[in-house]
Amino acid sequence: MELAKAFEPADIERRWYPEWEANYFFAAGVDRSKADNFCILLPPPNVTGTLHMGHGFNQTIMDALTRYYRMKGHNTLWQPGTDHAGIATQIVVERQLDAQGISRHDRGREKFLEKVWEW
């Protein structure tokens, strides 16, 4: 067997995807009521800085762990996270308003929240 000169994900997926689907590797609803649980919370995007290799590395580890435990028969969940307090988002929007010479207090709560959702 000759190895490809470059990694071609589409070729790998074409070969393995049917088997993954047939074995329900993507199915969260498989009845594993007696199985152990495994959950990782996916942190929210980094809105206050630029992405770097550490972000990709972190996501890769969480993805691999979740898949590993699913293949071992665990109930798994890789839960997309949210910024529960909205602090990072608030900072970004406040900076945008500050650049216009406006504070969130000038806008009031409702108008500020509208601006947050607009962002």
For residue 111, the surrounding DSSP H or E stretch is helix 109-118
Q: Is the pTM of this model over 0.95?
A: no
Q: How far is it, in rounded angstroms, from Cα 105 to Cα 112?
A: 8
- Classify burial at 23, counting beta carbons within 10 Å of its beta carbon; exposed 0-12, middle 13-18, buried 19 or more: exposed
Write out pLDDT tens, residues 70-87: 888 888 888 877 666 677
Domains of the chain, residue spans: 35-82, 84-119
Q: How far apart are CA 20 and CA 70, in angstroms?
A: 12
Q: Which residues of the chain have pLDDT under 50?
A: none
